[in-house]
Every structure is written in structure tokens, then in C-alpha cells.
Amino acid sequence: MELVRVILGVLALGVVVGGCGSSTDQVSGGLPLDANVRYQFNDSSVPPAYHRSFELTVTAERARLIVDSYGEILADKEVQAVDAAWATLVKTYPQLESVAAVEPEQGCVGGTSRSLTITLGDKVLKEIFLDDCGGVNDDAATAISDWVQPAKQLFPAIDVLAPS
């Protein structure tokens, strides 16, 4: 009988301790406050004077935008006042659940691409890569671009940061 009580006590403790954690595995659970959002836009193959790719990184504390032309950094800006933008990303995070990339039927050479990667430490919470070829991913591209827009608006326009 004593053994049964010990086993029941251990099981009860396991239930109590197990229920105290939180999970960040699901998009619908919300964007964790210590997540890292990275949005990359890779421009099409055009002459360097016109080529503008960028990487936007956002956390609850800061946002950083790097603009480059074929690897040459043209602008690198950081802002600390991100509270409103971060709050919008947190609120609208579940909208990413329905975003899906479509593989173009034909290969895409020289076109634009974009990616969205959301991490929590070493764990990838969400990753979307889109080739913008023939309009096959227009809806998904618009969805992720619109989602990061509150953070992107913290900076001047790309053509202002890095004029051609």
C-alpha cells in the first residue's frame, strides 16, 4: 500500500510540474517575446547600380535593416523603439499559419526571392522561402511582406537608404 502511495505521489508531482511549462511550438500560440524574426528580400539579377536586396531582423528590443547590392553593404540601420511594431507582429503572428510556398513548375533564374525565418534560440518556429517566379507565390509574398511591414516602416524606404 505504501508503494502505491509513493507512485501516486510521484505521478501527481509530474502532472503539477509538467503543467507549469509553456510551449512555443505552434504558430497559433503567439509569437514568443524572445523570438527573432528575419525577413530577407533578394532582388533580381540586374546591374549593380539597381540591385537592392535587404535583410530585416526584428526582436522585441530592436530592428535592423541591411541593404546590399551583390554583397556590398549600402546601408545598415538599427532602431530601438520597436514596441508598437513588435506588438503588431505578435498580434498578427497566427496569420502566418496559412502562408504556403508553391514550387514554380519551371526553374527560376535571375528572379527575386524572399524568406521569413522566425527562431527562438536555436529552434526554428517558422520558415518560409518563396521564389517569385511567374506569379506563383504572389499571395504568399504579399502575406509575409504585409506581416513584416510594421517593422519595415520603422526605416526610410530602401531607395532612400540606398539610392541607385
At 128 the pLDDT is 95
Q: How far apart are CA 18 and CA 75, in angstroms?
A: 47
What is the grid cell recorded at 104?
A: 514554380
CATH topology of domain 24-161: Mago nashi protein (3.30.1560)
- pLDDT tens track for 39-69: 999 988 777 777 899 999 999 999 999 999 9
| pLDDT confidence band for 29 (50 / 70 / 90) | low
Round the average pLDDT of the chain to a whole number and report it: 82
Q: How far apart are CA 67 and CA 90, in angstroms?
A: 25
Say if strands 63-69 and 53-58 run parallel, antiparallel, or are unpaired.
Answer: antiparallel
At 121 the pLDDT is 96
Residue 60: CB atoms within 10 Å: 18
SS3 89: helix
What's the whole-model pTM score? 0.78
